[in-house]
Amino acid sequence: MRKLICLILALCFISSTGALADARTGSSNYLYTPHDEIVAAPPAYTLARSITARDIAEVDALDGLVDAYKDENGVYILCSKRLIIMDHDLKVKRVLTSYMDGEKEVKLEGCTGVTFTKNGDFYITQSEKGQILHFNSDFTLNKVMGKPEIVGYENVNYRPTKMVVDAAGRLYVISKNMYEGILELNADGTFTRFFGVNEVTFTPWQLFWRTFSTKEQRSRQVLWLPSDFTNLCIDQDGFLFATLLSTDEKTIKRLNAKGENIINVSEEKPYPQGDLWTNETGFGIPTGKSQFIAVDVNDYGAYVCLDSTRNRVFCYNEDHSLLFIFGGPGDREGYFRNPVDVVFVGENILVLDSLAQSIEIFSPTKYGKALMNAVKYQYLYDYDEAAKYWEEALSYNHNLTLAYSGVGRMLLRAGEYEEAMEYLKMGDDRKYYDKAYEKVRTATLREYFVPAILVVLGLIAVKLTVSGVKKRVQKKRKGAA
């Protein structure tokens, strides 16, 4: 018996250290539990193919990869000097390297971001030139949009890096080192407001030191500036996802029409922030917290974030629960040397690697398909169908607490309260566990309340009868005496 216990403990140790090793090397074979523990997980996405310049006859190099965009019409890959237009099968349809500005042909250069509208118009940002090129759907130049007029910012450099356009035609532009927030522009390029303004946060020690610093000491200190946005996208509900350089854990935000962050998580669940366990110091290894530099969202609320610290992709569902992780630093298959952008292309995920000069396409495994289908049907409120895929995902990964929660919620809606409690407990879903427990308690009270009352009334009746009999007997005895 003692040998068996030692063997089980050894196997547990090996599996746990294996999961930790996978997390350090960057493989996708790990997840975090609701208690921030690392657990083993099967790969949800694996590399399907890599596209380089050798696979594209129309270009001689994929140098300067900076941005990717996808819509219902195709996939668009932007390099610093060219725009590659592809269909959804990633076959090249056209390559744009120059445009006509009146009688003059102008070469594309210094491009940093691209976005398309529903009518086929598109915009290309040129950061160093401080301008945005607006093209018609036939690839002719509509106009060149320079720096918008902003009162008080006449002497501030305008360096647009990324942008998106909403359904109403409003432009949301990130300008490098413009810390007041994202610029919201009208369709004609005129300034409306700063959107999603970031507040400066200080530690108590910084405030204390600043209070007692001399004027000369304060002049030598680093400026305290709000966080700078790095990338953005618009989800299916019209909300803006934006990544930002930040010293705290909030390197991604979901902004409503007022520019307020609406990512809300409970105290038991961590804010979506990438890796929870990181090395703060070290030589030759990535250190510090994850830093998201790109984000994209699919049609059912799942969103992927690209971490530039450890070259990993993190995927979350609409409730901001972690679904899977893949990638890592390196030049092996499925890893990245310098990833710069990530987008959904159907059920696949596309990552641009600027240093490798490649377009990396990742496809879901059977486990990944089950996982994403479960998220999809849960988003569509088809909980029965979602539960089928959660159960399938559990057959691949018994450590997936989110799946236990999904099955438990379905059982709760189906009225299987006791079984729902078991799954919700394994899924660490306290909110719905309390609801299931309340249902069980209510059902128990309903089942036993009437019989219990009848028993109590019966006991009272028996007691009263016995008391009455005793009194009559005592009276007879007294009369006989």
User: What does the pLDDT read at residue 159?
Assistant: 96
The dihedrals phi and psi of 253, each to the nearest 5 degrees, come to -140, 155
CA-based nearest residue to 336, from 355, 318, 321, 349: 355
Which amino acid is present at 258? Answer: K
Q: Contact at 8 Å (CB) between 85 and 92?
A: yes
- What is the rounded CA–CA span in Å between residue 311 and residue 12? 29
Q: Give the predicted TM-score (pTM) of the model.
A: 0.83
pLDDT band at 127 (very low <50, low <70, confident <90, very high): very high
- 424 falls within a domain: no
In the numeric block, the tokens 């019209």 are attached to 238
Within a domain: 382: no
Q: Which amino acid is at 435?
A: K
Residue 329 lies in a domain: yes
Which residues, in sequence order, are CB contacts of 120 under 8 Å at separation 6+? 73, 136, 137
- Domain assignment present for residue 468? The answer is no
Order of all β-strands in the sheet with 240-244: 229-234, 240-244, 252-255
Helix (H, G, I), strand (E, B) or coil at 411: helix
**199 within domain boundaries:** yes
Residue 362, CB half-sphere, CA atoms under 13 Å: how many? 29
DSSP 56-96: -TT-S--TTEEEEEEETTEEEEEESS-EEEE-TT--EEEEE
Which position has the higher pLDDT, 254 or 33?
Answer: 254
Check whether 225 has a pLDDT greater than 50: no
Helix (H, G, I), strand (E, B) or coil at 332: coil
Q: What pLDDT is attached to residue 203? A: 52
53 is in which domain, residue-wise? 43-364
Could you give the dihedral angle defined by the CA atoms of residues 148, 149, 152 and 155, in that order, rounded to the nearest 10 degrees? 60
Whether 427 maps to a domain, the answer reads: no
Average pLDDT over the chain, rounded to whole? 85
Residue 73 in domain: yes
As a whole number, mean pLDDT of residues 391-398 equals 95
> How far apart are alpha carbons 479 and 343 in whole angstroms?
101
Instruction: State the Cα–Cα distance between residues 172 and 229, nearest whole angstrom.
Output: 12
CA distance 252 to 292: 7
Distance CA 65, CA 356 (A): 10
Please report, for the domain that includes residue 358, its CATH number.
Answer: 2.120.10.30
Q: Is the pLDDT of residue 389 over 70?
A: yes
* Strand intervals (E) in 219-321: 229-234, 240-244, 252-255, 292-297, 303-307, 312-316
- Give residue 450's pLDDT band: very low, low, confident or very high (50, 70, 90): low
The label of the residue with tokens 């289908």 reads 373
Summarize pLDDT for 260-285 with one digit per residue, the tens. Answer: 999 998 877 889 999 998 888 887 78
Q: Is 248 exposed, middle or buried (0-12, 13-18, 19+ CB in 10 A)?
A: exposed
Q: CA angle, corner 52, sides to 134 and 363, nearest 5?
A: 90
pLDDT per residue as tens digits for the range 231-245: 999 999 999 999 998
Q: What span, in angstroms and rounded, lies between the C-alpha atoms of 77 and 9?
A: 50
Q: How far apart are CA 348 and CA 364, in angstroms?
A: 7
pLDDT tens for residues 77-89? 999 999 999 999 9
Residue 22 pLDDT > 50: no
CA distances from 364 to 43, 147, 165, 345, 411 (A): 9, 43, 29, 12, 27
Least reliable range by pLDDT among 52-61, 200-209, 411-420, 459-468: 200-209
Answer yes or no: is pLDDT of 24 > 60. no
Name the domain count of the chain: 1
Strand order across the beta sheet in which 303-307 lies: 292-297, 303-307, 312-316, 322-327
For residue 71, what pLDDT is reported?
A: 95
Rounded-to-integer distance, Cα 175 and Cα 350, Å:
25
339 pLDDT exceeds 70? yes
The secondary structure of 113-170, three-state, reads EEEECCCCCEEEEECCCCEEEEECCCCCEEEEECCCCCCCCCCCCCCEEEEEECCCCC
94 burial type by CB count under 10 A (0-12 exposed, 13-18 middle, 19+ buried) = exposed
The answer as to whether 439 is a domain residue is no
329 C-beta neighbours (distance < 10 Å), count = 18
